[in-house]
Structure 1
Amino acid sequence: MTTEKITGTKVIDAEGAYITPGGIDAHVHLDQDDFPNGDTFETGTRSAIAGGTTSIIAFALQPKGQHDLEKAVDNYFERTECGAYCDYGFHLILSDPTPEVLKQLPRMVERGLTSLKVFTTYPMYKINDSELLDVLLETRKLKITMMIHAENYDVIKYLNEKLEQKKLTDPYYHAVSRPEEAEDEASYRVITLSKFVDTPILIVHMSCEASINHVENAQKKLLPVYAETCPQYLFLTSDYLKAGCEHHVHPEDPFEGAKYICSPPLRADTTELDGVWRKIQNGTVTIFSSDHAPSIYEHPNGKKRGLINGLPHYQHIPNGLSGVETRVPLLFCYGVETGRITPQRFVELCSTNPAKIYGLSETKGSIGVGMDADITIWYPKGKMLPFELTNEMLHHQIDHTAFAGMTFTNWPKYTVVRGELVWDRDNGGIVGKLGFGKFLKRGASALAGPRKELNPILA
């Protein structure tokens, strides 16, 4: 047996540090019409590679009343013409699933959009239970990954009206208007509907233990129900929405809590954060995404849109936090390096499981022969000087981050996309080229398929 020295165009000494598959952030909002002051594909993917993410999946939105899916999707493909620093794909958001629209889904699969998202809340997006059953049936037939934003619309509407009557409209009341019960009920309901049609589902950005318990109970019955959570539900509480919070960068600004508005909202108690951590540790949570959906704070159409004649109105504040750059380092530092999760669990959540559930597992999510060489290389433990994060350190185009002030004990030292070095933290930072990222035409999910024959009544 002979051995040959492996050679390449560039040699990187990992110095004994962890080498992990590149991160896949499967929940990223870029250049959407409802986020007019958010990130573009240029700035969002630049931020991604700086945080160890090598692939992102963004959203192409079908507006209500727009029944031509080709036109809606083409509109979003045009937004990628600026180029991207990492590989990218699209989910389809369905807001108006008429029979005419559902007939077009096979064409979306042909184009590589093998996942779609629906909402049970927001007037401009929500679909009712009957429409959801129709969508579940079609996604079952096509083996499309079905993502659901699960919150009870009527509970939220009811509370919004009560809070408005009492003139309780500061940013903090956004969290009050979307209680855990709204997510709890909707999560149980969509699981029940998916069981009826026998369609796998992924409930996205789950924020509390009570709702994730429904997923765990379904999994114990061997139902194909999956859960996604995000960094904000591990590290932040609704106190951040209050005026004068000690964690604010400018606590003298009474409106700064608007920066922390997202849906589902930040929860009130650290025990809820611990509950979500437990569901990560025990394997119930399938993937860890950012739900990157930020808006610029200091802009009349950004977060400041919620200031009307100088008065705060939380219902007019754009939802969403930044996170595509901080997602992977947060879980590595506070999960792996603290011993809260294993390195293997970290890789499952950030890379391998997203690849499996979104039809990328033949090329992404693992390090192996025949796979894309998407790699994140860390610093050896203790070799990087810990630092407190400031927004100025990040590479998005947003003027704030919800994770400012948090201490990081590690950060990706190198990011490699398809064998090309694109991030070198100690030697120039961004070294990749805009336009190197390519569109990911995805196949069927490795996890999304029916378990049994279709009920003939539904055929």
Structure 2
Amino acid sequence: MAGFDLVVRGGTVITASDRGRYDIGVQDGRIAALGLDLEPGTREIDAESLWVLPGGIDSHVHLDQPQPPGIVQADDFLTGTRAAAAGGNTTVMPFVAQIKGESLRQAVTAYHAKAAGKCYVDVSFHLIISDPTATVLGQELPALVHDGYTSFKVFMTYDDLVLNDRELLEVMEVARREQALMMVHAEGYDSIKFLTERLERSGKTAPYFHAESRPDIVEREATHRAISHGELLDTPLMIVHVSSRAAMEQIRWAQARGLKVYAETCPQYIALTAKDLEGLNMEGARYVCSPPPRDEDSQKAIWEGIEQGVFSTFSSDHAPYFYEGSEGKQNPKARTSFRWVPNGIPGVQTRLPILFSEGVSKGRISPETFVALTSTNHARMYGLYPRKGTIAIGADADLALWDPLREETITQSKMLHGSDYTPYEGMRVKGWPVTTIVRGQVVFADGELKGEPGFGQHLARELSPYAKPGRPS
């Protein structure tokens, strides 16, 4: 009689702290045993030539969010989570976006309805605070944190999302009191508006000028301002999608002083540059995201931050739109100015292969560091550890089996996302996830979906240990 539901046998098991060759026994969706020559399982996977890693956790993903009139986001929970599974991810963390004037609690309820019955992998929701009313800050947000929505994001730019400094401070005060982790999109709103209008007056409206409207200075200034506000109130912060040397150095400065400032970066900042936005006609619109890709020195700086531990997490900031047609990157207004090109690119399926290839395969980072940046640190940072993000007895059996020598070319034909393009078209990578297992069930293998929509669960989270206030001594 089989002793386990599943045995993953003979693989090289790598976590954020160690590695070894042994079997993994799975029972009732959790890891029940680790060892050599485990008794048989009802199902067995031969991992002899593979690396077995904790499933990827992508803690920065946008799915089926409300958009301006006429614009459609290319991924709902069905297409977004199937792409995540194909890319070796077992958990994704999308955002519940509050619309100004609306209830935050109602936004959460509506977002759960969007996800219901569609998810291939597990999900856990962050909140986006766009309208910090007295009711939101005094009642809704504290109650939602208590219910397991223990992180939220604020914006320092975008007309419909930006918070002014007073509002940022008020939200930070609630974050500190409730011990919720506050994520910050750090770009200076007024500077971007000023530069955008000046570029438009000069006739510089092509997609390329999106990058010039958001230079690294505006990211640096906003990052410094957010850090200063956080220091003033003793509120820990996560600065998301850091793209430049200037911003990275602000964060490194804060960390050297003992401030609780954490940082995230993304594939676009090691694989793309502003030159990609130079395509003829609207070609450059494929690469429009914020902050924008920058230059080769910025890429070097991001690698410095990765290697030196400035960055805790490596996320995709998956924000997919269509390139063709009138509901996405080439909408009629976008043809008049870069300011109307939807900000965001798809990346949930390609995040892990890009970092593995550019980092592990090229010797920049160790496999253990890769696991930390793409899984374990996300689970720790956002209150999912040790259920997620590790390979240990009692943890969910979320596993990604990798062929570290397999070479692939990223092409749209291999993508399972809803977008009609990938910004990484033609990129050659070494190292590829071949099987994705969520709570002991194979959801993707051999290039095909094996799971069923609706299998993925929503995860309520504990308070993050990183969100505890406490000034440096």
TM above 0.5, yes or no, is: yes
For residue 286 of structure 2, the aligned residue among 259, 265, 272 is: 259
Q: Aligned ranges for residues 210-229 of structure 1 at < 5 Å?
A: 210-229=246-265
Deviation for aligned residue 1:387: 2.7
Aligned to 2:457: 438
Equivalent position SS for 2:247 = helix
Deviation per residue, 1:43-76 (Å, 9 max, x gap): 000000100000000011111111x221111111
For residue 107 of structure 2, the aligned residue among 72, 76, 79 is: 72
**Counterparts of 2:59 and 2:89, CA distance in 1:** 10
Deviation for aligned residue 1:4: 7.2
Aligned to 2:27: none
Alignment of 1:139 onto 2:158: no
Q: Structure 1: 5+ residue runs without aligned partners?
A: 245-253, 454-459
**Amino-acid identity (%):** 45
Shifted more, 108-117 versus 202-211: the winner is 108-117
Alignment of 1:288 onto 2:321: no
Deviation for aligned residue 1:186: 0.4
Equivalent position SS for 2:394 = coil
**Cα gap change, 1:82 to 1:312, in 2 (>3 Å):** farther
Give the residue type in structure 2 aligned to 1:302: G
Q: Aligned ranges for residues 14-163 of structure 1 at < 5 Å?
A: 14-34=47-67, 36-66=72-102, 68-103=103-138, 104-163=140-199
Aligned to 2:241: 205
> Are the aligned partners of 1:57 and 1:91 in contact in 2 as well (CA < 8 Å)?
yes
For residue 315 of structure 1, the aligned residue among 334, 339, 363 is: 339
Deviation for aligned residue 1:82: 3.8
**Counterparts of 1:56 and 1:449, CA distance in 2:** 24
Deviation for aligned residue 1:100: 1.6
Deviation for aligned residue 1:448: 1.1
Equivalent position SS for 1:412 = strand
For residue 305 of structure 1, the aligned residue among 331, 353, 360 is: 331
> Are the aligned partners of 1:61 and 1:93 in contact in 2 as well (CA < 8 Å)?
yes
Aligned to 1:457: none
Aligned to 2:422: 401
**Which aligned segments of 4 or more residues in structure 1 are displaced greater than 2 angstroms?**
2-7
Deviation per residue, 1:206-232 (Å, 9 max, x gap): 001111111111111111100000000
Equivalent position SS for 2:255 = helix
Give the residue type in structure 2 aligned to 1:406: M
Deviation per residue, 1:393-450 (Å, 9 max, x gap): 110111100111100222101111011111112xx52111111100011110121101
Deviation per residue, 1:129-181 (Å, 9 max, x gap): 11111111101111101000000111101101101111110000000000000
Q: How many residues are matched?
A: 434
**Alignment RMSD (CA, Å):** 1.6
> Are the aligned partners of 1:88 and 1:438 in contact in 2 as well (CA < 8 Å)?
yes
Aligned to 1:360: 384
> Are the aligned partners of 1:255 and 1:312 in contact in 2 as well (CA < 8 Å)?
no
Equivalent position SS for 1:100 = helix
Scaled by the length of structure 2, the TM-score of the pair is 0.89
Q: Aligned ranges for residues 418-429 of structure 1 at < 5 Å?
A: 418-425=439-446, 429=448
Scaled by the length of structure 1, the TM-score of the pair is 0.92
Aligned to 1:251: none
Structure with greater strand percent? 2
Equivalent position SS for 1:447 = helix
> Are the aligned partners of 1:24 and 1:355 in contact in 2 as well (CA < 8 Å)?
yes
> Are the aligned partners of 1:120 and 1:186 in contact in 2 as well (CA < 8 Å)?
yes
**Counterparts of 1:440 and 1:260, CA distance in 2:** 32
Alignment of 1:377 onto 2:367: no
Give the residue type in structure 2 aligned to 1:334: E
**Counterparts of 2:332 and 2:345, CA distance in 1:** 15
> Are the aligned partners of 2:63 and 2:73 in contact in 1 as well (CA < 8 Å)?
no
Deviation for aligned residue 1:3: 8.7
> Are the aligned partners of 1:306 and 1:315 in contact in 2 as well (CA < 8 Å)?
no
**Counterparts of 1:194 and 1:258, CA distance in 2:** 34
**Counterparts of 1:278 and 1:394, CA distance in 2:** 30
Deviation for aligned residue 1:305: 1.2
**Counterparts of 2:115 and 2:390, CA distance in 1:** 26
Q: Structure 2: 5+ residue runs without aligned partners?
A: 1-34
